Structure 1
């Protein structure tokens, strides 16, 4: 059964088919249509790849900037809270000291009203800060308001100390 394939082809007479004359042109048309189709698909893949790369880069960059901004905002907010806490503690301490030192109810009422006005201003500035946390002018205004309140109380304290010293000197 073993036979050489070459011998089979020599022995067998193959019928040769004749191809139509338009066969070559039809084949070339189909081949060029197939190449165009492949070219469109390849271009589509290229555009899809470019789009996905650009989208990925945009997503990564957006996340990085938002994380940096959040970290910066958080650090700034923490610092502002610390400053606010320190000032408010000092203001409260000075106010309590003022109430202890003075006996004049009119004076207490007058300065209580001034501090109330400053506190209202502080609340307005604080609401602006909640809207725009990156506005340095608003942050400076918050700190300046706290400084003004503390300075007012310290000035009152000094004035009362002077009055008390004068009162002691006149009674002695």
Structure 2
């Protein structure tokens, strides 16, 4: 025989307990004793908040200036910014960003030694030639609009640059391995 709790309250069969009137005051006193308020901490807290607001405003202005500034990699021809793959479509922007990030990552991983500097510099010259070709293709994209041929040429350029870096990495690794073998044989003899 279940009874509705609302009916119980209406019938007032449930005993109502009330807190003593001084309960809240005693509780607040105990709270103040257990956790005293430090005036210096409150003032410092406001200084940290103010400093944080100033930093956030500064970062916001800096970000705004960054995004409004001329994007690197875009060449200006006769007062017009050249288009890149990212300007054509979001999908092509992902492709372009992927290849550029991979190229930059591979370049950052490579450290030429005095023995491999000549090879490294030769590959960097080839990369610079490909970069100039990419800028020329971007200018063509800007002047003539996006065509399948130009878009494919831009993507192929990025692919070729990445593959060139992979070949450079392989050559540097083989030279390092052969140098290690020469050192090992000279140490054993």
Deviations 1:73-102 (A, max 9, x none): x9951111111111011111111222x254
Match of 2:171 among 131, 139, 159: 159
| 2:135 matched residue in structure 1 | 123
Q: Does 1:108 align with 2:108?
A: no
Deviations 1:99-152 (A, max 9, x none): x25433333322221111100000011111223344101000000000110000
Alpha-carbon offset, residue 159 of structure 1? 0.8
Stretches of structure 2 lacking an aligned partner (at least 5 in a row): 1-85, 185-189
Could you tell me whether the CA contact under 8 Å between 1:91 and 1:150 is conserved in 2?
yes
Q: How does 1:1-172 map to 2 (within 5 A)?
A: 77-98=89-110, 100-103=111-114, 104-172=116-184
2: CA distance, partners of 1:166 / 1:110: 20
- After TM superposition, the score normalised by the length of structure 1 is 0.52
Deviations 1:10-59 (A, max 9, x none): xxxxxxxxxxxxxxxxxxxxxxxxxxxxxxxxxxxxxxxxxxxxxxxxxx
Q: CA RMSD in A?
A: 2.3
Could you tell me whether the CA contact under 8 Å between 1:102 and 1:160 is conserved in 2?
no
- After TM superposition, the score normalised by the length of structure 2 is 0.47
2: CA distance, partners of 1:105 / 1:162: 14
Distance 1:97 1:75, change over 3 A: closer
Which has the bigger relative contact order, CA under 8 A and spacing at least 6? 1
Distance 1:151 1:102, change over 3 A: farther
More helix by share: 1
Stretches of structure 1 lacking an aligned partner (at least 5 in a row): 1-73
The count of residues paired between Structure 1 and Structure 2 equals 99
Could you tell me whether the CA contact under 8 Å between 2:96 and 2:158 is conserved in 1?
yes
